[in-house]
Structure 1
Amino acid sequence: MQLPQGFHSKEENVVCKLNKSLYGLKQASRQWNAKFCYVVKQLGFKQSKADYSLFTKRLGGSFIALVVYVDDILIASNNVQEVEALKVSLDQHFKLKDLGGLKYFLGLEIARSAKGISLCQRKYALEILKDAGMSACRPSKVPMEQNLRLSKLQGTLLPDPGVYRRLVGRLIYLTITRPDIAYPVHKLSQFMSKPRKPYLDTAYKILQYIKGCPGQGIFLSASSDFHLKAYTDADWATCIDTRRSTIGYCIFLGDSLISWKFKKQSIVSRSSTEAEYRAMAVTVYELTWLLSLLKDLEIWHPQPALLFCDNQAAIYIGENPVFHERTKHIEVDCHVVRDKVQDNVIRLFFTPTHTQLADLLTKALNSSQLRHLLSKMNVMNIHVSASLPKGECTLLDDDRLITKKTAADASNRPDSHLEGECQSLN
């Protein structure tokens, strides 16, 4: 070890004792998290076992929830005085910057009213369009053409694969509030090692769809009940290279969409029933985690969660513990569905294909199917006037969304009165 410049010592073999972690070291983030957790726990907070970034505190009739992402903090409570006291206590240990009511956090735009909370990434979506040179492109009604099958050997290799990788990486972050593009984006993410021209053309198709309604996002209704409902689906042997199936699920708390996932299975399923059953198992894992998270938030959920599937055979396998003949080749951990059904944690129901909301996450749909499922998921664009049908909008040259009436009406957007009530700190 060499002594710092300007430091002189007559002693040999001396070392420097580090009293505080330096910013930029690989240990700094770990030390910061440990320090923050210690301080918050000293203030009486309890760290969640389901999500270690969540801290909760119950004090009489007041409840405080604190969420931390690196050095960005969100505070939500039913007691304003307790929030102010917490900010004072945290400011004594850390240098805080109070950003006031929650309106923008990690690229997410939050708008709140008496009807509920809206989450979107409009600013981020417009930046993606601008950086890709697609601000003036023609909007598309769908993010991906139906029956499009991409292969790892299809088309010519891109001369600069970095363009494709950066674009897909940014689109992946956009799926946080856009389940409508989750399927095509994650489909493209499977070809990051050797991107080809058809993949880039498909990515540009997604940008054309985003151009149509960049402010589309999730609406969390304030009138929803606290009952978990899930839809699960699988598209059997959809990958033409590996013949692996695509699974997807979407989970609702009441009428509000809170979790969704699209994934290609790690093994080859021998039948569509097996693929559906494995999709049900993955959904049960997520439901189990969400039940633990609701418990940490002190939300009582006595009734079993509802799981909807459009495959009758998969439901029979989940409900019948002696149905061995067609399931003996399936791994034991997939039979967690049976265990949860017997413990009355979940209940299985059949849903027809035309009402299967998880279809949005497993296959490309036409524009009418896409609009129908998005309306059922409470995915909407608050920047569009309520008099217009959902998703029907026009984009001007200055990137302002207006209705089909007049440009003057654009100033009366329905989000002008929305105000965030959560506190954000940095």
Structure 2
Amino acid sequence: MKLPPGFEASDPKLVCRLRKSLYGLKQTPRCWFAKLVTALKGYGFLQSYSDYSLFTFTRGGIQINVLVYVDDLIISGNDSAALKTFKAYLSDCFHMKDLGTLKYFLGIEVARSASVLFLCQRKYTLDIISKAGLLGAKPVSVPIKQNHKLGLASGPIFSNPAAYWGLVGRLIYLAVTRPDLAYSVHVLSQSMQEPHDKHWEAALRVVRYLKGTPDQGILLRADTDLTLQGWCDSDWAACPITRRSLTGWLIFLGHSPISWKTKKQTTVSRSSAEAEYRSMVAVTCELK
């Protein structure tokens, strides 16, 4: 046992006797992750700087990827024998259970064949619809109305803001596999501090849109060429309060969508052309 960081004592052999737990087991995940990282790096994995839970192993023509969420691991690779050897190594380091082919992970359902990989959140979507009480509602074709004025919404304050926060939070996670929700979630999340009744109605409209498209998701093709393509657009002075423009982009690897975003630009653009250029800069940075 070591002294906690920041604690100084004259005798380095002294330890602390725990009389009462102040932080529960919050330190446990950090210690576990440090041990797992040590084991993976010892095998030859490199930790990603963009996502610290992603580890990659490359040797010759062998590629292995490991994605970590607490004590759940997704392991993928292009060589069955190398994967089997790596799993045996993990079994020697930890008590590990192999759950087989990936089918469900953190609310994301995975369906695969020899040529495609399909990711969706159907069960999670149905849970959102059920919690909103709209299982019997009539679906709509678009998630948000055109020319809406939600930024300038007035009228009564919504009586149950916690319900609005919870619904928008679930929609934010749903947008992980639903690029079509990026703009709607962007608009709704700007009213978290003081939602009005109109914001709640707009959020319920998104749920009614999900009622008609619960199975929609991302299709990743195996026969695609590994070329990056990006599309971007902007809406000049879209915010009626700050007059800042809106940037939206969608990036494909071959025919498979891998990155998308809707975001308010950081500065005010003085023309629509300037807003378009800022949008191009944003998608170029994402491509890089």
TM-score (norm 2): 0.89
- Looking at structure 1, the residues matched to 17 and 224 of structure 2 have their Cα atoms a distance apart, in angstroms, of 55
Question: What code does the residue aligned with 1:178 have?
Answer: R
Displacement of 1:107: 0.9
Task: Give 1:223's aligned residue.
Answer: 223
Kept in 2, the 8 Å contact 1:152–1:191? The answer is no
Question: What code does the residue aligned with 1:117 have?
Answer: L
RMSD value, Cα: 2.0
- Looking at structure 1, the residues matched to 145 and 221 of structure 2 have their Cα atoms a distance apart, in angstroms, of 31
- Looking at structure 2, the residues matched to 222 and 60 of structure 1 have their Cα atoms a distance apart, in angstroms, of 21
Deviations 1:345-391 (A, max 9, x none): xxxxxxxxxxxxxxxxxxxxxxxxxxxxxxxxxxxxxxxxxxxxxxx
- Looking at structure 1, the residues matched to 255 and 63 of structure 2 have their Cα atoms a distance apart, in angstroms, of 24
Deviations 1:151-175 (A, max 9, x none): 3552210111101110000011000
Task: Give 1:31's aligned residue.
Answer: 31
- Looking at structure 2, the residues matched to 93 and 17 of structure 1 have their Cα atoms a distance apart, in angstroms, of 30
- Three-state SS of the structure 2 residue aligned to 1:101 is coil
- Looking at structure 1, the residues matched to 258 and 160 of structure 2 have their Cα atoms a distance apart, in angstroms, of 37
Task: Give 2:44's aligned residue.
Answer: 44
Question: What code does the residue aligned with 1:37 have?
Answer: V
Q: Which has the higher contact order (CA 8 A, sep 6+)?
A: 1
- Looking at structure 2, the residues matched to 60 and 284 of structure 1 have their Cα atoms a distance apart, in angstroms, of 31
Matched residues, number: 273
Deviations 1:114-172 (A, max 9, x none): 23111100000000011111111111111111111213552210111101110000011
Deviations 1:28-56 (A, max 9, x none): 33322222111101112222334332222
- Looking at structure 1, the residues matched to 106 and 211 of structure 2 have their Cα atoms a distance apart, in angstroms, of 21
Task: Give 2:270's aligned residue.
Answer: 270
State whether structure 2 residue 164 is matched by structure 1 residue 164.
yes
- Looking at structure 2, the residues matched to 243 and 223 of structure 1 have their Cα atoms a distance apart, in angstroms, of 44
Equivalence map 1:301-340=2 (5 Å): none
The change in CA–CA distance for 1:24 and 1:227 in structure 2 (over 3 A counts) is farther
- Looking at structure 2, the residues matched to 133 and 234 of structure 1 have their Cα atoms a distance apart, in angstroms, of 35
Kept in 1, the 8 Å contact 2:152–2:240? The answer is no
Identity %: 51
Kept in 1, the 8 Å contact 2:108–2:120? The answer is yes
- Looking at structure 1, the residues matched to 218 and 114 of structure 2 have their Cα atoms a distance apart, in angstroms, of 16
- Looking at structure 1, the residues matched to 95 and 272 of structure 2 have their Cα atoms a distance apart, in angstroms, of 56
Question: What code does the residue aligned with 1:129 have?
Answer: I
Question: What code does the residue aligned with 1:82 have?
Answer: A
Task: Give 2:280's aligned residue.
Answer: 280
The change in CA–CA distance for 1:32 and 1:285 in structure 2 (over 3 A counts) is farther
Displacement of 1:17: 6.8
- Three-state SS of the structure 2 residue aligned to 1:87 is helix
State whether structure 2 residue 92 is matched by structure 1 residue 87.
no
Task: Give 2:239's aligned residue.
Answer: 239
Which has the larger Rg? 1
Task: Give 1:69's aligned residue.
Answer: 69
- Looking at structure 2, the residues matched to 283 and 26 of structure 1 have their Cα atoms a distance apart, in angstroms, of 38
- Looking at structure 1, the residues matched to 94 and 154 of structure 2 have their Cα atoms a distance apart, in angstroms, of 54
